[in-house]
């Protein structure tokens, strides 16, 4: 067998070895990421189970939102609750660039992607909001923010939509993926359970 005939199989094996090393690195990173996510979810579940009438619910929701954003690598996000009297969504907890100014802002249920999610009780993953007819730019314009992509999930307990959680703009500039939408949905379920437990705890407290 000539040297040239030996060279090609050798190159193939070397190239394949490089590919396998890259695949192993990716798998290792994914496993570590899933471990971190599991740890976050277990911590949030423990938090939701320890709620009493003395629990600072806003602080708890802030921690839930922060954990959710960190786990999916989002730079900005918010948790909005439905005001049952006005049928509006209220920004209760906000993280990111406009955290200090957006809290308290109201949106009609049905307005924008967050409003659509609240009205339909269904999640949304939008890669480019400029191409989505549901997107309403008024919040971006008023607060000088630029939404590129987002995840939004409803907070549902029983048959009630309590609000929504949304994550905006991944820090690394990449697109959100389905796994991250699923994760945010689980966080939304935990947040909804926490809100319901807090309501129940307050309602059962003697006047």
Beta strand pairing call for 88-95 and 150-157: unpaired
Averaged in consecutive runs of 10 residues, what is the pLDDT profile of the chain (207 residues)? 59 74 66 62 64 70 85 91 94 90 94 96 96 95 94 94 95 88 87 81 61
Residues in the chain: 207
- CATH architecture type of domain 32-203: 2-Layer Sandwich (3.30)
C-beta separation of 75 from 172 below 8 A: no
C-alpha span between 123 and 181 (Å, rounded): 8
* pLDDT computed for residue 202 by the predictor: 61
Q: Domain extents for the chain?
A: 32-203
C-alpha span between 180 and 163 (Å, rounded): 19
């Amino acid at each position: 067998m000539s040297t040239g005939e030996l060279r090609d199989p050798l190159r193939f094996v070397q190239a394949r070895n490089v590919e396998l090393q890259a695949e192993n690195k990716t798998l290792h990173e994914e496993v570590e990421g899933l471990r971190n996510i599991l740890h976050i979810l277990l911590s949030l579940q423990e938090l939701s189970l320890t709620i009493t009438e003395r629990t600072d619910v806003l602080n708890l929701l802030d921690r839930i939102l922060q954990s959710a954003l960190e786990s999916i690598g989002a730079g900005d996000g918010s948790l909005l609750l439905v005001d049952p009297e006005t049928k509006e969504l209220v920004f209760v907890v906000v993280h990111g660039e406009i955290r200090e100014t957006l809290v308290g802002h109201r949106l009609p249920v049905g307005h924008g992607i967050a409003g659509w999610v609240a009205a339909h009780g269904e999640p949304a993953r939008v890669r480019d909001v400029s191409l989505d007819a549901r997107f309403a730019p008024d919040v971006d314009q008023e607060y000088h923010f630029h939404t590129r992509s987002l995840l939004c999930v409803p907070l549902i307990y029983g048959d009630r939509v309590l609000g929504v959680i949304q994550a905006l703009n991944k820090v690394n500039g990449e697109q959100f993926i389905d796994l991250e939408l699923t994760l945010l949905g689980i966080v939304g379920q935990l947040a909804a359970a926490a809100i319901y437990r807090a309501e129940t705890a307050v309602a059962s407290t003697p006047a």
